[in-house]
Structure 1
Amino acid sequence: MNKHTNIENKEDIRGKTVVVTGASGGAGRAIAVEFARYGARLVLAGRRDFALEEVVEECNQNGAQAAICVVTDVTDAEAVVVLAKTAFEVYDKIDVWVNNAGVLSAGSFTDTPVDVIDQVIRTNLMGYIHGAHAVLPYFKEQGYGILINNISVGGWFPVPYATGYSASKFGLRGFSEALRGELMQWPGIHVCDAFPAFLDTPGIRHAANFTGRYLKPAPPVYDPKDLAEAIVRLAKHPRPSVTVGSMSTFLRLSHFLFPSISRGITAKVIESYLKVADEVPLTNGNLFRPLKFGSGVYGGWSRFTPPSRKKIALSLLLVGGAALLLSQTSGLMRRSGS
């Protein structure tokens, strides 16, 4: 059987109104097409009109009951309100809202212009907050609805040399937790978070880059369809959070158990790579204006075989051993110095 063949009942999604932000490429496009395969009624948002029209056509070809697009910059709160209003006016309800639009900036904190960091947080954090603020009144009026936030493993695991990105993703996790508590009196409204590992999308090619070095994702790189399927499952069977990809689980556990060691190793790995990577010009990427290239699902990165559970367990054991050795060495040094 094909890995991406759906075997669950499509009637769970058929005819439901689903809004997807950041749908003009990458993970958002994969999510939109996956919902289309289930016969959803789609409202697709993004900044690139030509790319959104392509996705609408692809969704219609893949079984969407209906699909429209609304050009939307999620950093503009009023534009997101218009997006929600349009979805409701066209389809008379909003069943699922997927916050997905996101950007990336790489570079040391002091070398990255502060307006770039502002824009990363405005897009990744405030963009999701704008989405939730726009759709929740409809959910409350209906008495039901599912808000899904595509956060990434960056919500648990810090990324040195991408401090604005980490701030936005950690902030999103806190936002979701607080919102879930506030919505306890609304049992029909669900807030779900997805934490995927690194995906083979065009996103990193769109990144703002102040390292002066060529960027590429760290392996293993996962198929965006894995995330799309997980998002649809959340729409069918809501739960507070789900990790997507065994590496996501590993990074989450390693930082929980050994935060100092895992953070330090990550910083050293990034620094070592940046010393040998090819030089490239500094760029704002797609932060302040959309780029014309990269509207497909995939970024063209080599996809590595995801690590097995056995390898994940071994990696955790090795990190744990390093942490134990470091703590014992530090203790001996302190005792010898006293």
Structure 2
Amino acid sequence: MSNRLLAGKTIVITGASSGAGRAAALEFARHNVALVLAARNETALEELAAECGIIGSDVLVVAADVTDAKAMINLANAANDWRGQIDVWINNAGVLAAGDFDKTPIEVHTQVIETNLLGYINGAHAVMPIFKKQRKGILINNISIGGYLPVPYGTGYTASKFGLRGFSEALKAELTGWPDIYICDLFPAFLDTPGILHAANYTEKELKPAPPVYDPRRLALAMVQVALNPKSNTYVGSTSILLKLAHAVFPEITTKLTGSVIRYYLKTANPIASTNGNLFNTVPYGMSTNGGFGLPGKPKAHRKYIAAGLLLSFAAGLYLTSFKK
């Protein structure tokens, strides 16, 4: 059902060509908004724009790389010139690289941080003068639970997400004198997107997200809700809340357990060749919303299993830690 409160609003989405960004575009299109879709893959954007147009939204496509600060300024200006204002800017573009820290090329770590952290900073820096001139606006940052939970063998990714959470908190504090400019952070759990298929991979093993994984439409729906009712922090999926609490209460155990789980997985995973994925260039595959990793059943059905699994893991961790002493 369309929400009239969003009709005609200008919504900018970076990283819109696939995954969560694509899901967000399709969800916002149902509300008859004016969509500005940005990513590096212009062909995928044009195909998505056609779908959103059929659903009921006007669409502007802007090919742009978030690591280029000037490109983000051009994106903001194009959106503002098109409709006269920007109501919501969604920082969403992101990449992933997996592998031993020292075996992963430093330029790969750098590119992950430039995309996931500096890309969001570039977007915020480009739109903020427009928001201040309007004296209103909503900036939504798709951070992920990786902003709280470290990802072993994804050190560049973790550095970018932890840094992003710090950047956003500082910006929120700075903008307390602007009551109608909102900074809204989203922390989804593991999503069923093609992102992991696009990842740079130096583990030489096939990568899969840890279950349970959630439909990216849940994140898209959360973005719509935040656009309607701005909220500082939103956790998407019960797993995200459990993992955040686990790391807050048992930081050392949680960190050790994540390392153990990933090492075990890498020992048993199918071997594949190393790849840079979509880190430095777009790829001609995986431009869909879903990645095909979803588990059957509704997410709520997994809550008791998730909670039980985490409790058992932490109990085992505590026991082993006490035993070693």
TM-score normalised according to structure 2 size: 0.96
Match of 1:53 among 36, 39, 46: 46
Match of 1:16 in 2: 9
Find the counterpart in structure 2 of residue 262 from structure 1: 254
Whether 1:128 aligns to 2:139 is no
Q: Sort the Cα spacing of 1:110 and 1:304 in 2 relative to 1 into closer, same or farther, 3 A.
A: farther
Instruction: Tell me: CA distance 1:191–1:209, structure 2 relative to 1, closer, same or farther (3 Å).
Output: same
CA contact (8 A) 2:25 2:52 kept: yes
In structure 2, how many angstroms separate the alpha carbons of the residues matched to 1:275 and 1:142? 54
> What stretches of structure 1 of length at least 5 have no aligned partner?
1-5, 334-338
CA contact (8 A) 1:223 1:303 kept: no
- Report the counterpart of residue 43 of structure 1 in structure 2: 36
Alpha-carbon separation, structure 1, partners of 2:16 and 2:197 = 17
**TM-superposed deviation, 1:35:** 0.7
Post-superposition Cα deviations, 1:45-104, rounded to whole Å, max 9, x if no partner, equal 00011100011111111121x111000000000000000000000000000000000000
1:67-216 aligned at under 5 Å gives the runs: 67-216=59-208
Q: The residue matched to 1:11 in structure 2 has which SS?
A: coil
**Identity, % of aligned pairs?**
55
**Contact residue 222 and residue 304 of structure 1 kept, 8 A:** no
After TM superposition, the structure 1 = structure 2 runs for residues 244-263 of structure 1, keeping only pairs within 5 Å, are 244-263=236-255
Q: CA deviation at 1:314?
A: 3.2
Query: CA RMSD, aligned part only?
Result: 1.4
Bigger shift: residues 134-143 or 243-252: 243-252
SS at match of 1:242: strand
CA contact (8 A) 1:261 1:319 kept: no
1:210 and 1:304 map into 2 onto residues whose CA distance is 30
Runs of 4+ residues deviating >6 angstroms: none
Is it true that 1:329 corresponds to 2:323 in the alignment?
Answer: yes
Distance in 2 between residues matched to 1:127 and 1:270, nearest whole Å:
28
Shift of 1:309: 4.0
2:289 maps to which residue?
Answer: 297
Cα distance in 1, alignment partners of residues 23 and 93 from structure 2: 13
Aligned equivalents of 1:21 and 1:131: distance in 2? Answer: 9
**Distance between the aligned counterparts of 1:272 and 1:43, measured in 2?**
42
- CA distance in 2 between counterparts of 1:171 and 1:62 reads 37
Aligned partner of residue 29 in structure 2, secondary structure? helix
| Equivalence for 1:3 | none
Tell me what 2:24 maps to: 31
8 Å CA contact 1:124, 1:169 repeated in 2: yes
Amino acid in the other structure paired with 1:27: A
Flag the 1:300–1:316 CA change in 2: closer, same or farther, 3 A. Answer: closer
Contact 1:220 1:304 in 2 (8 A): no
Aligned equivalent of 1:217: 209
Paired residue type of 1:322: A
Are the aligned partners of 1:105 and 1:120 in contact in 2 as well (CA < 8 Å)?
Answer: yes
For the 8 Å contact 1:13–1:40, the answer to whether it is kept is: yes
Aligned counterparts of 1:264 and 1:35: Cα–Cα separation in 2: 40
> Which string of whole-angstrom CA distances, capped at 9 and with x for unpartnered residues, describes residues 269-319 of structure 1?
111111121111111110000101111111122424435444444345334
Residue 237 (structure 1) aligned with residue 229 (structure 2) = yes
Structure 2: 5+ residue stretches without partners:
none
Local SS of the residue matching 2:75: helix
CA contact (8 A) 1:107 1:209 kept: yes
Task: Tell me, yes or no, if the aligned pair for 1:21 and 1:45 is still in contact at 8 Å.
Answer: yes
CA contact (8 A) 2:175 2:181 kept: yes
Cα pair 1:32 1:42 within 8 Å, conserved: yes
